[in-house]
Every structure is written in structure tokens, then in C-alpha cells.
Amino acid sequence: MFGFGQLIEILKKSPKKIVFTEGKDPRILEASSRLLASYFLHPILVGNEDEILEAAEESGFNIRGAEIIDPDKFDRMDEMIDLFCELRKSKGVTPEQAKKMLAQGNYFGTMLVKMGLADALLGGATYSTADTVRPALQLIKTKPGNSIVSSCFILVRPSATGENEVLAMADCAINIRPTEDELVEIAGEAAACAKIFGIDPKLAFLSYSTFGSGAGEDVDRMRNAAQKAKKQYPDLPIEGEIQFDAAVSLNVARTKCPDSEVAGHANTFIFPDISSGNIGYKIAQRLGHFDAYGPILLGLNAPINDLSRGCNASEVYSMAIITAALA
């Protein structure tokens, strides 16, 4: 069963540094003050020091002990520009262009991770998902063996018995319409992430069709992807193509696919595209009363995550712990 206590224990054994790209945002300051009070995760705030300290004082958060790094005064900026140009040399990026990009917190913060000055990054309190993720895609890149970066959400619903209900959903935030092979990769990454959060993954490749009840290009894509995933991950229970009701309801599963070991028990959902995934996790969150953690980026060569612009300080705190624990 997932609990933040386990992630905090991981961090206590090996404390980490996390960069916040929007250092003067009050939600970041509140989360940082909570982190500073507990010693397992050290915040690095990107931005102008005077502005950050003023914002902290105005909002009443004690950020004493936080590291503040101002891109305008960073003493290793020349080294950072050289590395940036090297990393983007296939795109012909000049030092002047690099300098301009590194004046932005999202690019600067990503380079702090690349240079090993921080272990993890959390951004997106004010930047869009694309603006948080793009520097990571361009500079951090996919980890060896992966062809794409994708994402998953972990959904947690506390129950009256004290047993949290925990689900994983992917890819709800990055890839617009994954190919069959990309869906297979997303499934493998989502299953691995689900395990970290205490889920014993049973994967459903979702569709508007169950075992050929409907027809169409997207049905074929999900069916073929499920078949490929079964071959690639023989130890994982995988079903597809399958409708959501058959995936989660034993009653429906008995009618539509009685022989499936996953149907009725699925807990890790692979969506056909970003629209269905993004809408799906938000329905679970808003109508199903699940807490949603994510998007957790998968397949990236360093732990970098994106916040929703509507996030609150408590979500920043939780996502910071998740991000750093994955490091």
C-alpha cells in the first residue's frame, strides 16, 4: 500500500537536492519551508535573491537555509553556456542564444541537474507542461534503452478500512497519439512506476472495444500494442483491447471477457492517446475523489517533473518528495 512515509524513508537514507524553477512563487516557498523543516530534501530556488526573500517575507514562510541561485549572478555561467552549446550543437545553438535561454528558470534549472548541482527538478507552477518538459527533452534526453519520454499519474483514494486504493494511468500528459511500439514502452515504464507505489500491476490497454466488439484504426492499434506488450513483458498480466468497464468491473468482465485474468482487476491503465488519458485521470480525480500525483515523467535520464499550474503548496510538497525519491 502506498504511503508517503516510504518515500520519505528512502530520502532520509539518501538526502537529495531539488531545484524549483519558479523560486518566488508562494506555493513553492511554502513547500520549501516545509522541506527545510525536515532535512531529507534540500530546496534550491532559482531566481533573484532579493525578490525571493521579499516574496517569502510577504507570504510569511521561513526559507532560511534554502539555496538561492540567480541565473544573472551564477559564477559557473560560462561553463554552463559551453555545455549547453555542446548538448545542442546538432541544432547549431550559439553562445548568445544559449545565454538568452539560460536566463529562463526552466532552462537554467534543467542545466543545474545536467551539471550535477542538483539531483532532481520540479517546475510548472507557472510554466506550461510543454515549457517545463521541453528543456528536459532537449538537454537531459531519454535514458539508455528508451526511445521516448512519457508519463503516468498515480491515483490514490483513501478508503474507510484504511487501505488506500492506488491506480496508475498513462500516458495522460506527454505523447499526443503514441504508436503501437510507443504504447508498449509506455506500458513497461508505467508498470515499473506502479510497482514503486506499491501496485501489483495488472495492465489494461483501453479502447472503446473489448476483444473486437468494435472496429477501427484505434481499436487495432490498442489490440496490436497489447499483443506486443504481452510478448515483451511475459511476467506482467496484460489485457487489450478492452473497455474501461470490463477492465474494472467483475460483473461486466464476466459477460464480456470471462476468461481474462486482468478483466475486472485492472489497476494500471494504458490510454490510446493524450485526450482520453488526460480526461480520464481528471474524471477519476474530480468525480471519483482520487488524489492525483503527477504527471510523473518516465523514461527521462534524470528525475524532472511538472506541476499543474493550478497546484497548491501541499501538491508541490508531495510532488517534490515523489520526484526526489525517484532519483
Ligand X SMILES: CC(C)(COP(=O)(O)OP(=O)(O)OC[C@H]1O[C@@H](n2cnc3c(N)ncnc32)[C@H](O)[C@@H]1OP(=O)(O)O)[C@@H](O)C(=O)NCCC(=O)NCCS
Cell, residue 16:
537529495
Residue with cell 516557498: 29
Q: Which of 310, 305, 308 is nearest to 321 (CA)?
A: 305
| Closest CB to ligand X among residues 142, 164 | 142
3 state DSSP class of 260: coil
C-beta atoms surrounding 235 within 10 Å:
6
Tell me, rounded to whole angstroms, the distance of Cα 5 from its chain centroid: 19
Q: Contact at 8 Å (CB) between 44 and 18? A: yes
Binding-site size for ligand X (CB under 6 A) equals: 15
Peptide bond preceding 171 in cis form (omega within 30 of 0): yes
How far apart (Å, rounded) are the C-alpha atoms in residues 196 and 191?
9
Q: Which of 268, 111, 264 is nearest to 188 (CA)?
A: 268
Does 18 interact with ligand X (rule: CB under 6 A)?
no
Does 137 interact with ligand X (rule: CB under 6 A)?
yes
Residue from 59, 126, 213, 278 touching ligand X (CB under 6 A): that is 278
Cell, residue 45:
530556488
Residue from 71, 105, 295, 303 touching ligand X (CB under 6 A): that is 295
What is the smallest separation between the CB atom of 132 and ligand X, expressed in angstroms? 9
Q: Please name the residues in contact with 14: beta carbons below 8 A apart, sequence gap of 6 or more.
A: none
Length of the chain as a residue count: 327
What is the smallest separation between the CB atom of 113 and ligand X, expressed in angstroms? 16
| Closest CB to ligand X among residues 219, 297 | 297
Residue from 48, 59, 104, 129 touching ligand X (CB under 6 A): that is 129
Residue with cell 508498449: 184
What is the smallest separation between the CB atom of 28 and ligand X, expressed in angstroms? 19
- For ligand X, which stretch binds (CB under 6 A), given 97-105, 137-145, 228-236, 250-258? 137-145
Residue from 134, 228, 265, 282 touching ligand X (CB under 6 A): that is 134
Residue from 148, 187, 262, 319 touching ligand X (CB under 6 A): that is 148
Closest residue to ligand X: CB criterion: 137
Residue from 174, 191, 194, 284 touching ligand X (CB under 6 A): that is 174
Q: Contact at 8 Å (CB) between 274 and 171? A: yes
What is the smallest separation between the CB atom of 125 and ligand X, expressed in angstroms? 13
Does 304 interact with ligand X (rule: CB under 6 A)?
no
Residue from 104, 138, 179, 227 touching ligand X (CB under 6 A): that is 138
Does 283 interact with ligand X (rule: CB under 6 A)?
no
Angle at 138 between CA 136 and CA 141, to 5 degrees: 65
What is the smallest separation between the CB atom of 310 and ligand X, expressed in angstroms? 11
Does 132 interact with ligand X (rule: CB under 6 A)?
no
What is the smallest separation between the CB atom of 141 and ligand X, expressed in angstroms? 7
Output helix, strand, coil percentages for the chain, rounded to the nearest 5.
45, 15, 35
Does 213 interact with ligand X (rule: CB under 6 A)?
no
Task: Give residues in contact with ligand X (CB under 6 A).
Answer: 129-130, 133-134, 137-138, 142, 148-149, 173-176, 278, 295
